[in-house]
Amino acid sequence: MPKSSIDLAIILDVRSIGVDLFRANSPNVSTERVFGGLVIGQAMLAACRTVESRLPHSLHCYFIQAGDPHVPLTYRVERLRDGKSYSTRRVTATQHESAIFSMMASFHKGEKGVFEHQDRMPDVPGPEQFTMEELSKKPEYKDLPEIVRRYYEPDRPVELRPVEIGRYVGQKIEDGRLHMWMKASTKLPDNPLLHTCALAYASDLSLLDAVMGRYGRTLFDGRILSGSLDHAMWFHRPFRADDWLLYAKESPSAQSGRGLARGLIFKRDGALVASVAQEGSVRERC
């Protein structure tokens, strides 16, 4: 039976505890560490609370150390610049008085541009073709590890529908290109800032798994140790995070125990709404 969805707007919310100082919690205390996307989304929301009449257009962040899900996260925002067109904020997340995460975010008032182009959206069937009911009809489904089936259950803040299901049973993706449909599991308020923070949260979901695509392996493999090192994101065009979005991912390089993953996020009408890049530690257990 489907489980109730988790409201992404609630878990991203941060409360003010002082001037440009915010606090939030991790909703999942059963994990070993705080999900990186949660910290990105909460940090972005904290930054948004200090900017007026401008939307984020980019973020660049580093994961300094793993977060403890049992301890509240404190976000300190620094107002670095408020110019005619752009505003810049730095956000530091701390626990136990130590920094665990640092982010720079830039905001733009918006303007009419002369140049307009984008990459074309990959030709991928719609999300209706990748429900668990539809996937269960595929011959590979019976061989899916239980951890993979649980990961794609609907009781999570972002509903995920993987396209290349065969890779979870050893199929190699020669060009390393992976695709996943995603959207917030619950309806979000009509606030573009919140939708930006929600997509920042979702952008960290399985991005590093693109590193494994060429090898017929996944991050669900218990022999793999992985962790995000940094994360960058650019927001291009308006979108709603509670509508279906296609996350097209690839990994152009892996070496020295690190892997680079890139992603493009499209609306169903083909509009490119965001670009993502992340490097992470990807190792085999000894």
173, pLDDT greater than 60: yes
Q: Which pLDDT tens digit goes with each residue over 55-67?
A: 999 999 999 999 9
Residue 120 resides in a domain: no
Domain total of the chain:
1
pLDDT of residue 176: 87
pLDDT of residue 77: 98
Residue 198 resides in a domain: yes
Residue 3 resides in a domain: no
Instruction: Name which residue leads in pLDDT, 138 or 124.
Output: 124
Q: Which of 186, 190, 228, 189 has the alpha carbon at shortest distance from 206?
A: 228
Q: Which pLDDT tens digit goes with each residue over 147-160?
A: 888 888 777 899 99
Residue 33 resides in a domain: yes
3, pLDDT greater than 60: no
Residue 63 resides in a domain: yes
1, pLDDT greater than 70: no
Residue 115 resides in a domain: no
- CA separation (Å) from 164 to 31, 36, 50, 52, 126? 27, 24, 41, 41, 13
Mean per-residue pLDDT over the chain, rounded: 93
pLDDT of residue 5: 57
Q: Which residue range(s) make up the domain with 241? A: 8-110+126-284
Q: Where are the beta strands (DSSP E) in the chain?
A: 15-18, 21-24, 55-63, 73-82, 86-95, 98-108, 158-162, 178-184, 224-235, 245-255, 258-267, 272-284
Q: Which pLDDT tens digit goes with each residue over 75-121?
A: 999 999 999 999 999 999 999 999 999 999 999 998 998 999 999 99
Q: Which positions are catalytic? A: 204, 228, 278
4, pLDDT greater than 50: no
Residue 2 resides in a domain: no
Residue 190 resides in a domain: yes
- The CATH number assigned to the domain holding 136 equals 2.40.160.210
70, pLDDT greater than 90: yes
